[in-house]
Amino acid sequence: MQLTVTQKIINKHLINGEMIPGREIAISIDQTLTQDSTGTMTYLELEALGIDKIKTKKSIAYIDHNMLQTGAENADDHIYIQTVTSKYGIFFSKPGNGICHQVHLERFAVPGQTLLGSDSHTPTAGAVGMLAIGAGGMDVAVAMGSGEYYMTLPKIVKVELKGQLKPWVSAKDIILELLKRLTVKGGIGKIFEYSGEGIKELSVPQRATIANMGAESGALTSIFPSDEITLNFLKAQGRENEFSKIEADKGAIYDEEIEINLYQLEPLVACPHSPDRVVPVSSLRGLRVDQVVIGSCTNSSYSDLMKVAKILKDKTIAKHVSLAIAPGSKQVLSMLAKNGALATLIESGARILECACGPCIGMGQSPSTNGVSLRTFNRNFEGRSGTFSAKIYLVSPEVAAVSAINGYLSDPRELGKPPLVKEPELFLVNDNLIIPPTNNLDEIKIIKGPNIKPFPLGKPLSSKIQGKVLIKLGDNITTDHIMPSNAKLLPYRSNIPYLSNYCLTPCDKDFPEKAKKNRGGFIVGGINYGQGSSREHAALVPLYLGIKVVLAKSFARIHKANLINSGIIPLAFKNLEDYDYVEEGDELLIEDVISQVKGKTINVINMTKDKEYKMILDITPRQREIIIQGGLLNLIRLKK
């Protein structure tokens, strides 16, 4: 049988099930990663599993999200993560070492291995031929404890890149083109596997940009073959011994195929407030810009920032523009400092931020009221920047740099020849901010600050569920809507009771009080409910507020899994028009719940309107048992 890259890796790691799209399988997990926004909860869950040591080959905890220390909360979380990871044999990447996905690509990603991360942009490591999947914290904790991960096998989509990119057109434009075609829900239930002569022109950092933003389509992951370009990258990182060649067999059969002619692409921009609202930069030329931010896990590599430095050399940014640059890792920042590029950036007027996620998650550098901000990031959801009225546009580093100089959105092709930047033959390797596991695990004392609270546990299903519709939402509600993640709230990621006061407040400021007053109830959503970040807080906080059921037209993959793991039932309208007849305040009832959960459809009675809705419960037999027991942790404890 001729196999794709994805099939080769899954086949090697398959524990249970068959490689048939739509079937549940279990695969062994070689590596995991966490970051501090989701990591504290993940390690609390790992402790609750009651294991002695992790089962993965290598697990790494990164500190890169909660970096502003305006109180003790973030520092306390970092101390907890450092001590608990030492206790369980996990590597710890200290604050300042860089963004998890950039550092993981540099120092840990291995072709042919599997990676599960408690961050939706974990697929970045697919740039080196690694099967890298984003998931909720509970799934990552279970993977560390058992070495296994259960998932529904997606379709494998071949994305063939033909031809070569024109000057000033970048990898960012490739993935923006794909998002333009497919939308933010077009990748649900799919893995994108890249091929074609066009990939031979793409460096590993360029491939990483594409793999990273594939998450915005809802795809399980994106992956490139491991080839001579991968080998050269690993050589430059001093890790060539970890290389293995992995390419699709000639004649391998894919479920779907997409073709992108690179030569036909031009510089693109994603307009507010969605990564799929893509138009040519030329169509918006002249848009006045207030802020430009370059960085994030999407475009903060050495080559990205060297291009920016060459564009900015001997120039000054426009007087009304604020330019901020966040290198992706200590390695990148050190190399820029040593070769003089950092001085070039500073002299142009750029503000240099620390190596962290920062503005991407609203952790500093929020735009002005109604401000226009160009960013090289992966998401531009409304309010995510920290300023609800701001308009965020997603662009390549080249477009960002030229626009910072001009003061308005600019087509870089107007500059003539683009700067040439070669990938280094040797990267500067210094892992002194990565703390390896200790051998004296018994001597480690886990330190928990006062802000770290227990996470809520679901209860086994009762015979019926009854309550009011607390809120009715539209399409593409993100986890940023469900559980805001700005600079004021991020320090409380380990304090679910505190966070519960802000659940869904971007949509309805009174939602938390309604939930508390009614002792829970139902949430109703539209298409692609729960898109965006993998943060399981968007499930744990509703659980804490008494939510047992979410009704929606459809669900984003990771959030649906998080709801199930928390014991919340995700129901999809069988007849989409029924959505129109459910209103906030309606009293809903589900009778004989346990028996119904064992089937594929559930009847929901609207007692207020005397109507009955057929709802689809599209989950696996294992997930039905999770729901019945009130969550994944309850099921694991039951089976011990």
Of 240, 264, 288, which marks where a domain is finished? 264
> Strand, helix or coil at 150?
strand
Can you give the pLDDT at residue 486?
85
632-639 and 557-565 helices, crossing angle to 10°? 50
Q: What is the mean pLDDT of the chain?
A: 96
Q: Is it the case that residue 363 has pLDDT exceeding 80?
A: yes
**Residue pair 204/107 in contact by the 8 Å Cβ criterion:** no
Answer whether residue 435 is part of any domain.
no
Neighbours of 436 (CB within 10 A): 11
Q: Is it the case that residue 1 has pLDDT exceeding 90?
A: no
Of 214, 246, 264, which marks where a domain is finished? 264
Can you give the pLDDT at residue 53?
87
Shared-domain flag, residues 195 and 340? no
| Edge-first strand listing for the sheet containing 372-375 | 278-280, 268-270, 391-394, 372-375, 291-294, 322-325, 351-352
Answer whether residue 445 is part of any domain.
no
Answer whether residue 430 is part of any domain.
no
Shared-domain flag, residues 477 and 606? yes
**CATH number of the structural domain spanning residue 580:** 3.20.19.10
pLDDT tens per residue across span 510-534 = 999 999 999 999 999 999 999 999 9
Can you give the pLDDT at residue 443?
81
pLDDT tens per residue across span 378-428 = 999 999 999 999 999 999 999 999 999 999 999 999 999 999 999 999 999
**Residue pair 290/367 in contact by the 8 Å Cβ criterion:** yes
CA dist., res. 212 & res. 378, Å (int):
8
SS percent in the chain: helix, strand, coil, step 5: 35, 20, 45
Answer whether residue 422 is part of any domain.
no
Can you give the pLDDT at residue 441?
74
The CA angle 131-307-120, to the nearest 5 degrees, is 30
CA dist., res. 466 & res. 462, Å (int):
11
Shared-domain flag, residues 162 and 240? yes
Answer whether residue 127 is part of any domain.
yes
- For residue 61, the cross-strand partners are 34, 92
Shared-domain flag, residues 160 and 48? yes
pLDDT-derived band at 460 (thresholds 50, 70, 90) equals: very high
Range of the domain at 395: 268-413
Shared-domain flag, residues 471 and 552? yes
Answer whether residue 107 is part of any domain.
yes
Can you give the pLDDT at residue 23?
94
CA dist., res. 79 & res. 520, Å (int):
34
Shared-domain flag, residues 272 and 259? no
Mean pLDDT of 577-585: 97
pLDDT-derived band at 438 (thresholds 50, 70, 90) equals: confident
Q: Which two tokens stand for residue 338?
A: 């040593």
Q: Which two tokens stand for residue 115?
A: 């990676």
CA dist., res. 349 & res. 419, Å (int):
20
What are the φ/ψ torsions at residue 131 (nearest 5 degrees)? -85, 95
pLDDT tens per residue across span 116-127 = 999 999 999 999
230, 268, 478, 519, 545 from 503: Cα distances, Å: 43, 34, 12, 14, 9
Mean pLDDT of 151-155: 96
Domain count across the chain = 3
Can you give the pLDDT at residue 287?
97
Q: Give the single-character DSSP code of 320.
A: T
Can you give the pLDDT at residue 73?
94
pLDDT-derived band at 638 (thresholds 50, 70, 90) equals: confident
Can you give the pLDDT at residue 112?
98
Answer whether residue 434 is part of any domain.
no
Can you give the pLDDT at residue 485?
86
Shared-domain flag, residues 235 and 91? yes
Of 245, 264, 283, which marks where a domain is finished? 264
What percent of the chain has pLDDT above 90?
95
Please, what sign has the CA dihedral across residues 20, 25, 29, 33?
positive
**Nearest to 100, CA basis, from 41, 32, 36, 35:** 35
- Model-level pTM? 0.96
Q: Is it the case that residue 52 has pLDDT exceeding 90?
A: no
Answer whether residue 394 is part of any domain.
yes
Shared-domain flag, residues 336 and 276? yes
Mean pLDDT of 100-115: 98
**Nearest to 358, CA basis, from 295, 299, 446:** 295
Q: Give the per-residue SS3 of 555-583.
A: ECHHHHHHHHHCCCEEEEECCHHHHHHCC
Q: Which two tokens stand for residue 211?
A: 């793999």
Residue type, 405: I
Shared-domain flag, residues 219 and 280? no
| Helix (H) or strand (E) segment spanning residue 15 | strand 14-16
Can you give the pLDDT at residue 323?
98
Mean pLDDT of 143-152: 96
CA dist., res. 179 & res. 160, Å (int):
15
Shared-domain flag, residues 289 and 310? yes
**CATH number of the structural domain spanning residue 88:** 3.30.499.10
Q: Is it the case that residue 618 has pLDDT exceeding 90?
A: yes
Shared-domain flag, residues 567 and 474? yes
Neighbours of 197 (CB within 10 A): 12
Concatenating the DSSP letter of every residue in 29-98 gives -SEEEEEHHHHHHHHHHHHHHT-SS--SSEEEEE--S----SSHHHHHHHHHHHHHHHHHT-EEE-TTSB
Shared-domain flag, residues 350 and 253? no
